[in-house]
Amino acid sequence: MTAAIIDGKAIAAGILDDVAARSALLRGVDVHPVVSFIMLGDSAPALLYANRLERVARPVGIEVRRFSLPDIVSVSELERTVSTLSQDSAIDGILVQLPLPDHLSEADIGNLIDPRKDVDGITVQNAGRLYLGIPGQVPSTALAMVELLDSCGIDGTGKDAVVVGRSKIVGHPVAELLIQRNATVTVTHSQTRNLARNTLHAEILMVAAGSPHLVTGDMVRAGAIVVDAGINAQRDGIVGDVDFEAARRVASAITPVPGGVGPVTNAVLLRSVVESAERRHE
């Protein structure tokens, strides 16, 4: 079997067309969607992320406004910046660079952002909404992973789904979104004793571990649908957490890296920004 390639770029382009149309309507009534990005230090990955987000946002009429703080920023200084942005009626979304420097925890920022502007779903309120099944902001990578399934018409109902990774921004919320789609979900993580024994059960395999080629072809069930969020910089380019070439010989559908989850993550994030701007207008 050779898997169908799930084309994240094409799916993202569809979402961005909708975002561009909605953003144009808003600008027509003088509402200009803006997302702020708080950078902590000037690490190369953060700069790369900000540049990439800007490249996607500009053509759809969304401004990315950067705020640079030192990576040794105190909680109170970060709090001041976030609360200024939360109160600024010209700002629709607030993103904080992740992962955080070692001296800050998710708990430090989880209560600072106005939940209505928390376009990446990292606040306590939005996490609570997700787990209670109340509409709210969902972490964009997790949302992108399940929207990739949705856009291919893949129904989770009754399926065995396995998630590799339990981070608060990807693995854990993906598991919740799969439960909401009526899948039977197993969550694996770095302390899981036999990863392959679990992944081999997966009709839907969602991987977000941050470990290049962790999932090899012989860990994939025949006919599985594989969605890989991993982004790992290697000497010869970016690779995912799944050995794509080996897995595609076994799976029925698979996302490539790059060109799978990444573009859809940016697209759903910008859709959240435009939705927030629409609420501001209302």
- Per-residue x/- marks for ligand NAD, 263-282, CB under 6 A? --x-----------------
Number of H helices, E strands in the chain: 10, 11
Instruction: Extract the tokens encoding 229.
Output: 């969020």
Per CB under 6 A, 262 contacts ligand NAD:
yes
Number of amino acids touching ligand NAD (CB under 6 A): 25
Angle between helices 8-28 and 261-281 (to 10 degrees): 20
* Amino acid in the structure at residue 1: M
CB of 13 to ligand NAD, least distance (A): 16
Per CB under 6 A, 202 contacts ligand NAD:
no
Per CB under 6 A, 43 contacts ligand NAD:
no
Which of 75/195 has CB closer to ligand NAD? 195
Out of 43, 211, 216, 252, the residue judged to bind ligand NAD by CB under 6 A: 211
In contact, 244 and 256? CB cutoff 8 Å: yes
Q: Look at the alpha carbons of 120, 126, 129, 134 in this order and tell me if their dihedral is positive or negative.
A: negative
CB of 153 to ligand NAD, least distance (A): 22
Per CB under 6 A, 216 contacts ligand NAD:
no
In contact, 15 and 267? CB cutoff 8 Å: yes
User: Is residue 200 packed enough to be buried (19+ CB in 10 Å), middle (13-18) or exposed (0-12)?
Assistant: middle
CB of 232 to ligand NAD, least distance (A): 6
Which of 166/181 has CB closer to ligand NAD? 166
Q: Which residues contact 153 (CB under 8 A, 6 or more apart)?
A: none
Out of 169, 177, 183, 250, the residue judged to bind ligand NAD by CB under 6 A: 169
> Nearest residue to ligand NAD, using CB?
167
In contact, 276 and 92? CB cutoff 8 Å: yes
Give the SS3 label for residue 177.
helix
Please give the residue ranges that form the binding site for ligand NAD (CB under 6 A): 141, 164-167, 169-171, 188-190, 192, 195, 208-211, 214, 229-232, 261-262, 265
